[in-house]
């Protein structure tokens, strides 16, 4: 699925998603223009994405791997909202697993990964402090 997005060269953005493969545009590192092709990177395992950071190889690789510790590890990143992409279909983790975020007042939106990618881009461009936790 190709994802359209307003140009945002200062942050990580999602170019496309297909099951098992996420293509990202990395932020420009210098004021000198670089082409999108030079800034593309591909991720093939679950990951955490914020406007400023990419954390590859997030430990849960499937929905049944989720633990509360996986979400507690997101707390130091201090997101306003976590978008959880649960793979090819929408599945809701039990509340105990999301408790580390919810008890701190951090919003959690659960959706399939394709919808999570679109939502992340929209909120990131809008300037929100968003974190996408994506199962691929």
Say how far residue 64 (Cα) sits from the centre of its chain.
19
Instruction: Please give the chain's pLDDT, 136 residues, in tens.
Output: 555 444 557 899 999 999 999 999 988 765 555 555 667 999 999 999 999 999 999 999 999 999 999 999 999 999 999 999 999 999 999 999 999 999 999 999 999 999 999 999 999 999 999 999 999 9
pTM: 0.88
Instruction: Write down the pLDDT at residue 35.
Output: 59
Instruction: Write down the pLDDT at residue 87.
Output: 95
Q: Exposed, middle or buried: residue 135 (CB in 10 Å: 0-12, 13-18, 19+)?
A: buried
Instruction: Write down the pLDDT at residue 6.
Output: 45
- What distance in Å separates the CA atoms of residue 68 and residue 80, rounded to the nearest whole number? 18
Q: How many degrees, rounded to 5, is the angle at CA 126 between CA 80 and CA 93?
A: 40
């Amino acid at each position: 699925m190709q994802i359209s997005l307003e140009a945002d060269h200062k942050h990580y953005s999602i170019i496309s998603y297909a099951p098992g493969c996420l293509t990202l545009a990395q932020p420009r590192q210098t004021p000198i223009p670089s082409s999108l092709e030079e800034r593309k990177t591909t991720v093939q395992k679950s990951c955490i994405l914020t406007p400023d950071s990419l954390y590859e190889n997030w430990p849960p690789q499937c929905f049944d791997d989720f633990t509360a510790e996986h979400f507690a590890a997101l707390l130091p990143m201090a997101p306003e909202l976590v978008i959880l992409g649960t793979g090819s279909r929408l599945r809701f983790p039990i509340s105990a697993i999301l408790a580390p975020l919810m008890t701190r007042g951090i919003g959690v939106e659960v959706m399939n990964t394709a919808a999570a990618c679109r939502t992340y881009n929209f909120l990131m461009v809008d300037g929100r402090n968003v974190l996408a936790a994506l199962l691929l």
